Structure 1
């Protein structure tokens, strides 16, 4: 397991909310779902992204946008187009005046636009597929896409893990990978697969979404101007890279700086100095953070006992894990589990 793979294990798609949008101007969607991570690929056309913090980002065909929650944002054809639908936590949809819209009303009947698809066309008010009229928007959700429209693929990771929070904390609220900055065919593959309704299709879509996310993040982290976090830069280091991978792969091993130095073939002083320079914290501090992040995710599993979790992450007893957990996180494992 390398560093990025380990941190991405948390946001791995498992039945992620995935939808295809066919939009014809004027259109605008206000996203307030507070999901920890959302990926949006522009298959054709163009769009404007307006983050809650301000500013404007224009994207076009082939671009991929990653949104880090819980910040709100708007995606529209133009900055001055008023939102026609608000997406709330749990993918609850409402009109601008607060009237609820069932997602089943938005989705196109199979054979019209395709499964997992909704859309608009330029005439009249907002109409859900199947003919249900909703207030305040454009007509034709469930209609065909007009010339000049925009096609978006949106995948929402709705569950955040403690491990993945170390990754998400390094990302900007809105991250854009431009089409000309990478060579990746996955947007096209995802566009082809999202409208299919074959056995195992959910698993296929989850894996394609994961691969697209990993490719986009690797591209962004590799940029010289991306200010990639230390743990990512350390991956390519011949000494610190293997050390980080060993700590992540075997958290239950009774690691010491001396043992880690011996495994990497350098002195304790050299390893400690190099590791701290690149990663931003000493080896044992990194290991503690990794162990407690793993423990926090394991504690969310209903059948996991504190003793079993302690063994898996390298603590000799439930008491030792509880002490470390409370010292670092400020609450006991039991309290964390009760509020999780």
Structure 2
């Protein structure tokens, strides 16, 4: 499992909120849905996006942006028009005065806007659940990621544009998978940029020694790893691995493994009904007591409390 696979290995898009937004200027929409991540791409016209963190980008046809939540952002034909709609959690939509807009601005299946022939068209895909395994990567993203059409050049945008307004059996699953693939394409292009400030562990994947160590830990977290056994697999001494791993990743190999195991456990607790004992053994702990002790020490809550508190935003 590599870094990008780890992003979506846990709760991949499931019933993601997808929308084709068709607008005619002047227009502006305020987004406060608290979603962990939204992907937006423009197919016609142009759209401004302004995040609460102060970032502003202009999207033209073929451009894509990722807004990292839970902070809000505003999108519109310009940055001066007062928002005509406020999007809240779960895709709820109303005016700034609280008047509902879901029906009045509906333009068909997964289509919404102020004019069916509007000159600005944007496709929006929103993940509604934050997965613990992806937290390392999501935390490394700025509030707003922007790639021009030349920088990512993904053939999936026309596919999403074609599929988003269809209403066929299994359509939501098809759209979820397209959204996943588009997100991976965007992140791959983003982290290849020299100015992207990718997280240390992501960059370390390219190191012949530390990269192999990271993949071994990620691929088989249940193995009883020690620094010595990991070093042997990587063909270096224990001291060499420990020093280089800390230099590139910023923490010791066993510290990284602990965090990885607990991230996996958190996902399993949220996404399955497996017992704590079964989860513990799957991620490399001897039993429920050992997992509970580590989970509470690192995360501040017990596995049972984490499961009980895991709800959609």
Smaller-chain TM-score range? over 0.9
CA contact (8 A) 1:11 1:157 kept: no
Give 1:11 shift.
5.2
3-state DSSP of counterpart to 1:100: coil
Residues 15-45 of structure 1: CA deviation (Å, up to 9, x unaligned)? 2111101111011110000100100011111
More displaced 10-residue stretch of structure 1: 64-73 or 197-206: 197-206
More displaced 10-residue stretch of structure 1: 325-334 or 72-81: 325-334
Q: Does 1:72 align with 2:42?
A: no
Residues 228-259 of structure 1: CA deviation (Å, up to 9, x unaligned)? 11121112211111211111111111010111
Residues 28-74 of structure 1: CA deviation (Å, up to 9, x unaligned)? 11000010010001111111111112242222111100010001110
Q: Does 1:120 align with 2:114?
A: yes
3-state DSSP of counterpart to 1:118: strand
Give 1:145 shift.
1.1
Indicate the residue corresponding to 1:93 in structure 2: 93
Residues 95-142 of structure 1: CA deviation (Å, up to 9, x unaligned)? 1111233x3553323xxxxx2111223xxxxxxxxxxxxxxxxxxxxx
Give 1:310 shift.
0.6
Q: 1:73 to 1:117 in 2, by over 3 A?
A: same
Give 1:163 shift.
1.0
Residues 169-215 of structure 1: CA deviation (Å, up to 9, x unaligned)? 11100110111213211112211121222333222211111111101
Indicate the residue corresponding to 2:134 in structure 1: 164
Unaligned runs of 5+ in 2: none
**Which one of 153, 156, 168 corresponds to residue 123 of structure 2?**
153
Q: Does 1:30 align with 2:30?
A: yes
TM-score normalised over the length of structure 1: 0.87
Structure exhibiting the larger radius of gyration computed from Cα positions:
1
**Which one of 156, 165, 177 corresponds to residue 207 of structure 1?**
177
Residues 80-101 of structure 1: CA deviation (Å, up to 9, x unaligned)? 1110110001111111111233
Matched residue count: 310
3-state DSSP of counterpart to 2:169: coil
3-state DSSP of counterpart to 2:306: helix
Quick one: distance in 2 between partners of 1:302 and 1:242?
30
Quick one: distance in 1 between partners of 2:225 and 2:272?
29
More displaced 10-residue stretch of structure 1: 246-255 or 293-302: 293-302
**Which one of 198, 206, 209 corresponds to residue 236 of structure 1?**
206
The alignment's C-alpha RMSD in Å is 1.5
TM-score normalised over the length of structure 2: 0.95
**Which one of 286, 298, 308 corresponds to residue 268 of structure 2?**
298
3-state DSSP of counterpart to 1:151: strand
